[in-house]
Structure 1
Amino acid sequence: MSLAPWIDACPIVAILRGIRPEEVEGIGAALLSEGLNILEVPLNSPNPLESIRRLHAAFGERALIGAGTVTSEDEVAAIARAGARLMVTPHCDPSLVLAARARGMIACPGFFTPGEAFALLAAGADALKLFPAEAASPAVLRALLAVLPKGTAVLPVGGVGAETIPAWKAAGAAGFGVGSSIYKPGDDAAAVTAKARALRQAIDAA
């Protein structure tokens, strides 16, 4: 399993922090209708494993369903059982990469320094999450990509929205993790559809 085909189709990871199980199908359908097919449920959301199960049941054939804010090997096992095929962490922990890969999942761990990036790649990370991106800059990403192995996929996460995507893309970002600019608690399907459309337009323009 590879992240590349999903990123090629649409380079946005929709981070659904705070979503509730009873709304995931409606929000998921809205995102897929706009071509966003990578859906991440952070584990600090209400009943996240049930949300992952429902997304997997409803859209598992058409979307890459993942879990974010994963911080332990027990959580890796739990999200795998729930149907997640993508594991995202907020930090550098090579053991979690190994645990995810052992279960056939795509691993996109968080990093902030070159040392962390190389350690995660050595463990088998499929892609890297630059986090918190708002504490870095597109210039930092450009410098990192100059020393990381050619073809390394780096996705900025944190403060990314339609207005910042062009600069990150120009610096070499392979994709983008988008949180409140795509969904925040209280948003309905119509609001998410409008946000998704604006993000797709920003990417197309970039």
Structure 2
Amino acid sequence: MKLTNELIQSRLVAIVRGITREEARIAGAGLVAGGIKFMEVTMNTAGATDMIHDWRLAFDGQAYVGAGTVLNVKMAEEAVSAGAQFLISPNVDLNVISYALERGIDIWPGAMTPTEIAMAFHAGAEVVKLFPMASLGLGYLREIRGPLNHIPLMATGGVTLGNIGQYFEAGACAVGIGSSLLPKEALKAGNRERIAEYAASFVKAAGCPSHFG
């Protein structure tokens, strides 16, 4: 899939959850201005499909827009209809993986155990999301990379500006970042410039390339 290669180059996915449609517009503008290339709205956010649609219209050609917390095929259908270019889930659902692959949509399912990770990869997921990293810890990522070093892992949970480098050193090909990337005070104040500054700091720390596409 095209976007999997882009993801491994970009190394970051911004996760937006539980915000309003107007806040999503502000967040999206700030994240893109800061150099973020992958942005997801979780499907358990009220109005998620509207936000995905808004982002596709506003940032097409600047960033890739996807849906997170895609728990079943119905959610996947709704997300793709809204314009999602990739799907991410916290779990392994073989029906969701099949749905995405049949339509040429990149799917990065979440898994925790070696069995789940291998199952997702063998089902066709080119990258597997290791979740919840905040609880599993970097030691778990390092250990699991031993037998599963052929499977690209995107680590999600617990990523901060101070420890992001450790995630890559431990073997993550990319990271998913939520609250630490999107400061609440800046979002509430509508401060796109401050959000862009945060985003740019993460992009720099991850060593991301500046180009798009």
The reply to whether TM is greater than 0.5 is yes
Residue 198 of structure 2 corresponds to which residue in structure 1?
195
Deviations 1:108-159 (A, max 9, x none): 1000000000110111112111111011122221222222252x22111111
Residues 85, 105 of structure 1: 8 Å contact kept: yes
How does 1:1-206 map onto structure 2 within 5 Å? 1-148=1-148, 150=150, 152-183=151-182, 187=187, 188=190, 189-204=192-207
Deviations 1:39-68 (A, max 9, x none): 000011120000001111111222111000
Q: Which runs of 4+ in 1 moved over 3 A?
A: none
Aligned residues: 204
Take 2:127 and 2:8, find their aligned partners in 1: how far apart are those partners? 13
Deviation at 1:185, TM superposition (A): 5.4
Take 1:61 and 1:202, find their aligned partners in 2: how far apart are those partners? 24
Residues 31, 196 of structure 1: 8 Å contact kept: yes
* Relative contact order higher in (CA < 8 Å, ≥ 6 apart): 2
Deviation at 1:8, TM superposition (A): 4.4
Deviation at 1:23, TM superposition (A): 3.3
Q: Which amino acid aligns with 1:71?
A: L
Deviations 1:20-42 (A, max 9, x none): 22233332222122210100000
Take 1:21 and 1:135, find their aligned partners in 2: how far apart are those partners? 30
* CA pair 169-82 structure 1, distance change in 2 beyond 3 A: same
Residues 6, 64 of structure 1: 8 Å contact kept: no
User: In structure 2, the residue corresponding to 1:159 is in which secondary structure?
Assistant: coil
Unpaired runs of at least 5, structure 2: 209-213
Q: Which amino acid aligns with 1:87?
A: L
User: In structure 2, the residue corresponding to 1:66 is in which secondary structure?
Assistant: strand
Take 2:8 and 2:125, find their aligned partners in 1: how far apart are those partners? 18
Q: Which amino acid aligns with 1:123?
A: A
What value does the CA root-mean-square deviation take over the aligned residues? 1.9
Take 1:128 and 1:22, find their aligned partners in 2: how far apart are those partners? 31
Take 1:197 and 1:119, find their aligned partners in 2: how far apart are those partners? 35
Residues 17, 184 of structure 1: 8 Å contact kept: no
TM-score by length of 2: 0.88
Unpaired runs of at least 5, structure 1: none
Take 2:17 and 2:32, find their aligned partners in 1: how far apart are those partners? 17
